Structure 1
Amino acid sequence: MADFEWYRSFCTIYKHNSVSEAAKARIMTQPAMSQHLASLEAEVGEDLFIRTSRKMIPTERGKELYSQLAPLIEALEETTMNFKSASLPTHSVIKLGAAHEFYTEKILPNLHTYKMSTISNFGTADQLVELLKEDKLDLVITSKKYQTPGIEYLKFMDEEFVIVTPGDYEMPDTDNPESMEQWLSAQKWISYGPDLPIIRRIWREHFKKRPQIRPAHIIPDLRLILKAIEQGAGLSVIPTYILNNSASVAAKAVYEDLKVNNELYFAYKLKHKHLPQIQEMIAAIRDNI
């Protein structure tokens, strides 16, 4: 008869595509994790994964078994977590991490509606995920998914970025991508960082090349970049929620077909996935976006 722990190990390997990463996530040794999988495959009577040098690829039987097991295991783990949380002191404080621009525009205006206290922390995506790994944060809003054992990502929303210029800029009236690219490349650019974040995405997605741009100014704050644009310092790429929240007419979106979308995710420790406080905070943030 199959052991329940074999099923849990199988589903964890399926999620991570790796025995070693699954072992880290379940805080087990790699040989023990491999033994669970071997025992389950012997019980099923066929391979559940194709082993390659880089990752574990589920077989058709593996996919079928995962689709049957995953909802059952998640429901059981949620029930177990609810039992545990009922006996724990109320966790009334959530340690929240986000980019400060997103926090200012999207979280801060709704802070008064949250039913729990928050301790906020700001930083780059890699800094915030590192704090999450160290249990210094409970919930992070991030634009990057890092393959980190024990951390799960949940799609939150898309943020849209557009090219923004000073209000008095005159652009060539053209639909020709080559002409657009030539004109844009000749302008003074303001960038969030020296590696041209998001600007590179626009060039790659719409012009199929790397941008040949040396930014005139680097300002690691999207709201300050918008102010610099309004003062005529150059053009840049800004999220539409920041541009739309500005009452100024000194900046405008141009060539709006050249927009790009950036995915945002909630990140949290897998072991805390079913904590009511985490789920309540995710729901509260979603409801106000």
Structure 2
Amino acid sequence: MDLDLLRTFLAVYRAGSLTGAAPSLGLSQPTVTAQVRSLEDQLGRQLFVRRARGVTPTPAADELAARIAPHVDALATVAIGEADPFATPVHLAGPAELTTARVLPALAGLVASGLKLRVTFGLAEDLLAGLAQRRFDLVVSTIRPRGRGFAATPLTDEEFVLVGPRGFDGDPRTAPLVAYAEELPIIRRYWRSVLGVRPPAGPAVVVPDLRGVLTCVRAGMGVSVLPRYLCAAELAAGDLVPLLDPPEPPINTLFAVTRAEPCRAGPAAVRDALLADAAQW
């Protein structure tokens, strides 16, 4: 079987799209598509389900990736040698808000030194599954992964704060809630740990991005619970106001997660840069 077909398959598997894999391979999107189809024909099995945005791997693709990834990666490492640790793109994944606000700025120096970065946003459980499947090299996770297949290094603790818009003088326990999910995940935890009760059922506004939640609160749509790093500038400017000042606000530990195996030079450099910068977060 052609090694180039396996390399292309693995790139598509990790990128989650045919178009996204093309730049890292130095190929056009039609060529990537043709190579994936050729591999599917040789195997007699469908590897990807085409979606409106990207592709979804089939169980056959998951099995193939698990079998070939260590060997293809090892061959690539031998081919590029140690002279250029950034010759292969680093596939980084994490929550959209934290990655945008903190993670990416911390990697500017590495990019200037030649790092090629491919970034994916998503929920922690999904991203950790992708890390295990070798779709990603490093995941910034809001939860500590389970199992022996991961190596998790604590980055920092994010503090949560209950905020309202400028001039808010009501009772936050009865105010409309703005959340990023119907289940009120962050709000529910804050209500229970600080107020000792469950939050009211049913948020007024649901926006699946904490940056959108911040915008809604700032516009006066209600109150919410946000990581302090995300709203520090708005709090300093008075556009948002903290509604409570608990002696021990809820916190959550963030982790830099790789697979429990020797780390390539590129992902290791990204992890080390994040650890160094996280002290300022």
TM-score range, shorter chain: 0.5 to 0.7
Q: Tell me if structure 1 keeps the 8 A contact 2:163–2:242.
A: yes
> Using the alignment, how far apart are the partners of 1:133 and 1:120 within structure 2?
16
The residue correspondences of 1:1-289 to structure 2 (distance < 5 A) are 87=78, 89=80, 90-92=84-86, 93-114=89-110, 115=113, 116-171=115-170, 183-246=171-234, 248-257=237-246, 259-272=249-262, 274-289=263-278
Structure 2 unaligned blocks of 5 or more: 1-74
Q: Tell me if structure 1 keeps the 8 A contact 2:155–2:274.
A: no
The alignment's TM-score, normalised by the length of structure 1, stands at 0.62
> Using the alignment, how far apart are the partners of 1:283 and 1:193 within structure 2?
33
3-state SS of paired residue (2:107): helix
| Paired residue type of 1:271 | E
Structure 1 unaligned blocks of 5 or more: 1-83, 172-182
Deviation at residue 227 of structure 1 after TM alignment:
0.9
Q: Tell me if structure 2 keeps the 8 A contact 1:159–1:263.
A: yes
Q: Tell me if structure 2 keeps the 8 A contact 1:230–1:250.
A: yes
> Using the alignment, how far apart are the partners of 1:218 and 1:122 within structure 2?
19
Partner of 1:72: none
Deviation at residue 146 of structure 1 after TM alignment:
3.3
Q: CA-to-partner distance for each residue in 1:161-196, whole Å, 9 max, x for gaps?
A: 10010111015xxxxxxxxxxx33211000111111
3-state SS of paired residue (1:155): strand
> Using the alignment, how far apart are the partners of 2:215 and 2:237 within structure 1?
9
Q: CA-to-partner distance for each residue in 1:85-129, whole Å, 9 max, x for gaps?
A: 985625522110011111111123333211422111100111111
Deviation at residue 238 of structure 1 after TM alignment:
1.0
Q: Percent identity?
A: 26
The alignment's TM-score, normalised by the length of structure 2, stands at 0.63
| Paired residue type of 1:252 | V
Partner of 1:20: none
> Using the alignment, how far apart are the partners of 1:202 and 1:239 within structure 2?
11
Q: CA-to-partner distance for each residue in 1:185-243, whole Å, 9 max, x for gaps?
A: 21100011111111111122123333233210111111111111111000001111111
Which has more radius of gyration?
1
Higher mean C-alpha displacement, 209-218 vs 98-107: 209-218
Would you say how many aligned residue pairs link Structure 1 and Structure 2? 195
Q: Tell me if structure 2 keeps the 8 A contact 1:85–1:275.
A: no
